[in-house]
Amino acid sequence: MIWDALTLQLGYNATLVAVGATLLGVSAGVTGTFLFLRKRALVSDAISHATLPGVCLAFMVLVALGGDGRNLLGLLAGSAISAWVGLLCMNWLTRRTRLAEDAAIGAVLSVFFGFGIVLLTIIQTMGVGRQAGLEGFLLGSTAGMLWADAMIIAIGGAATLLLVLILRRPMTLVAFDPEYAATRGLPIHRIDLAMMGLVMAVTVVGLKIVGLILIVALLIIPAVTARFWSERSEHVVLLAGLAGGLAGYIGAAVSASAPNLPTGPIIVLVSFAFFVLSLFCAPKRGVLAAVLRHLRFQRRVHIRQGLLALAQGQKIYEPLTLRLLRRAGLVRPDGVATDTGKARAAKALRDEKRWEIVRADQAHEATAALYDGLRDIETVLTRDQIAEIDRQIGGPQGVPA
């Protein structure tokens, strides 16, 4: 069943939803990345909640004009206008008053959303039927998606992607270094507004599929996910688009495969699964990689300390050290050093002595800074330099048998 869904075998409507969700996921991931890099991820929360009054007002106007209140294009236009108004309010509060951005975001989202709910209750009492589709904007509803709806989403998504492509350089610059961007003469405020406009476009397009509360997830989660895998902004953008697209595609397929699996939440949960996977498994920035790094470091410290203890004829009590030394074939099970162990221990002790001289010598200042008690000295000094140091130490003296 799930395979049928993934290969688009579940019929016309499911295919339409899957394609729409994928497109939405790609454009949300790509656009959200810039928002995330600009450290304004939660602005999307305010924008999405601010769409509700616009949707309701558009419905009322459409009905008042004698049309069908559920015309998607009309509702989306209304939501875009009110989202834009919300965005301007938020911008004004942040720039012109002493309120911090987070308070402005929260104020706009709750007030606009509250006003939207007031309008929703008015619509419910207006006595016109057919408002059933309207509450779907809260949580998304894809069941009744039509060809025309899918086209709007596809065109909207494609247009957003194109704009991101055009604006990617200035947006990246502003995201990473606004001061430098300003000295280059870029209109930061306008680029920020353009970025927000793109976020608004994605939000409006995504209303139908995932609803206004969950669209925030599609803007934030893929970007955060992608950030684990790369340090280069263009790669992060591409990976976020990929993660968002895959989440949309798989989420839509899963939700089509069984009843009672609402599309929006499933897409968000799939997206979160990618996030968790990346949090743990990403190379370099992932948790697993950090744990491995830590274990490797711990192992080196223990072996080194064990070797120094062997060289000085001290008994080793630390069980982890003993186990590591035994596994490396440096000591026998009874704790006595093997031949390799003795050789390595002697070298470790000699290295310590060499380092001591390096660190005492002003001429080796740069090298001495690299001392961490673990590094083999031949990785930082040439053979000639080591030979020179060894001359100062002299031959073996009083080495125990």
Partner 1 sequence: MSGEEFVPLSLTPLLIGTFAAIACALPGNFLVLRKQALIGDAISHVVLPGIVVAFLLTGAISTWPMMLGAAGAAIVAVVLIEAIRRLGQIEPGAAMGVVFTTMFAAGVLLLEQTDTSTVHLDVEHALYGNLESLIWLDATGWGSLLDVDALAGLPPELPRIALTLVGVSVFTWLFWRPLKISTFDEGFARTIGIRTGALSMALVITAAIAAVAAFDAVGSIIVIAMFICPPAAARMLTNRLEAQIVWSIVFATASAVSGYVLAGYGPLWLGGSDAVSAAGMIATMSGLILAAAAMFGPCRTRIGAHTSA
List the beta strands (DSSP E) in 143-263: none
Site for partner 1 in 131-190 (CB under 8 A): 135, 138-139
What letter would DSSP give residue 337?
A: B
Q: Which is nearer to partner 1, 128 or 399 (CB)?
A: 128
Site for partner 1 in 298-357 (CB under 8 A): none
Contacts of 282 (CB under 8 A, 6+ apart): 228, 229, 289
Could you give the string, one character per residue 82-121, with x where binding to partner 1 holds by CB under 8 A and - elsewhere?
Answer: ----------xx--xxxxx-xx-xxx-xxxxxxxxxx-xx
- Interaction of residue 41 with partner 1, rule CB under 8 A: yes
Q: What angle do CA 282, 163, 224 make, to 5 degrees?
A: 20
DSSP conformation letters of 86-137: HHHHHHHHHHHSS--HHHHHHHHHHHHHHHHHHHHHHHHTS--S--GGGGHH
Q: Tell me which stretch binds partner 1 (CB under 8 A): 17-25, 263-271, 334-342, 366-374.
A: 263-271
d(CA 326, CA 331): 5
Q: Which is nearer to partner 1, 58 or 104 (CB)?
A: 104
Radius of gyration of the chain (CA): 31
In whole angstroms, the minimum distance from the beta carbon of 261 to partner 1 comes to 7
- Interaction of residue 221 with partner 1, rule CB under 8 A: yes
Contacts of 362 (CB under 8 A, 6+ apart): none
- Number of residues this chain uses to bind partner 1 (CB under 8 A): 59
- Interaction of residue 253 with partner 1, rule CB under 8 A: no
Question: Residue 337: beta bridge partners?
Answer: 331
Q: One-letter amino acid identity for 134? A: L
Question: Residue 331: beta bridge partners?
Answer: 337
- Interaction of residue 231 with partner 1, rule CB under 8 A: no
Q: Which is nearer to partner 1, 272 or 371 (CB)?
A: 272
Tell me if 153 sits within 8 A of 208, measured CB to CB: yes
- Interaction of residue 261 with partner 1, rule CB under 8 A: yes
Using CB under 8 A as the criterion, which residues of the chain lie in contact with partner 1 when the complex forms?
Answer: 36, 39-42, 44-45, 92-93, 96-100, 102-103, 105-107, 109-118, 120-122, 125, 135, 138-139, 213-214, 216-217, 220-221, 223-224, 227-228, 260-262, 264-266, 268-269, 272, 275, 279, 285, 287
